[in-house]
Amino acid sequence: MSISELLGKPVTINKEFVKCEIYDTSFAWVQLNDCSTFRGYLLKLPFDKKKTISKYSSGLTDFDPKYKIADGLVCYSDRAFLYVEDKVTGKIEKMKLADHSLDIDFDNVHAAFDSVNVTRNRIFVKLIQDNESKPIEKAISL
């Protein structure tokens, strides 16, 4: 299966912005950024054919120097929340970004997320709203 077929749109890949981690015989996590837009994609590929592939087209990856994501974690958004998932356990923590769904263009992610710093104990985001940088943070436990 091609990446474009899997993600539902053409994606330009550069070896500098792709990473794959295999976890035993259970699954693999693939992280990549589209070279033309720098949009982040996250794929959890199970080795069991009965399980479904998890796809996130709103990934915030550490390929971007302004985004720091701790080892063993992935980070993505759905326009209202920012999610952090432990790659091994699947445990998820989330942080509310706003009281309403934000109009985020993930093909131009820096217009919404100035910087992101995620550890197992904390989520910190500088969110851009109305041309102002708004820091948001939350203590978590992963």
Residue with token string 């990934």? 59
Check if the beta carbon of residue 21 is closer than 8 Å to that of residue 43: no
Q: Are the C-beta atoms of residues 59 and 74 closer than 8 Å to each other?
A: yes
Look up the domain containing 110 and give its range: 3-139
Given this model, what pLDDT does residue 1 score? 63
Q: What is the pLDDT of residues 47-89, one digit of tens each?
A: 999 999 999 999 999 999 999 999 999 999 998 999 999 999 9
How many domains does the chain divide into? Answer: 1
| pLDDT tens column, 95-112 | 999 888 888 999 999 999
Q: Give dist(CA 10, CA 69) in Å, integer.
A: 26
User: Collapsing DSSP states into helix, strand and coil, what is residue 48?
Assistant: coil
What CA–CA distance (Å, rounded) separates 103 from 68? 23
Compute the average pLDDT of residues 30-49.
93
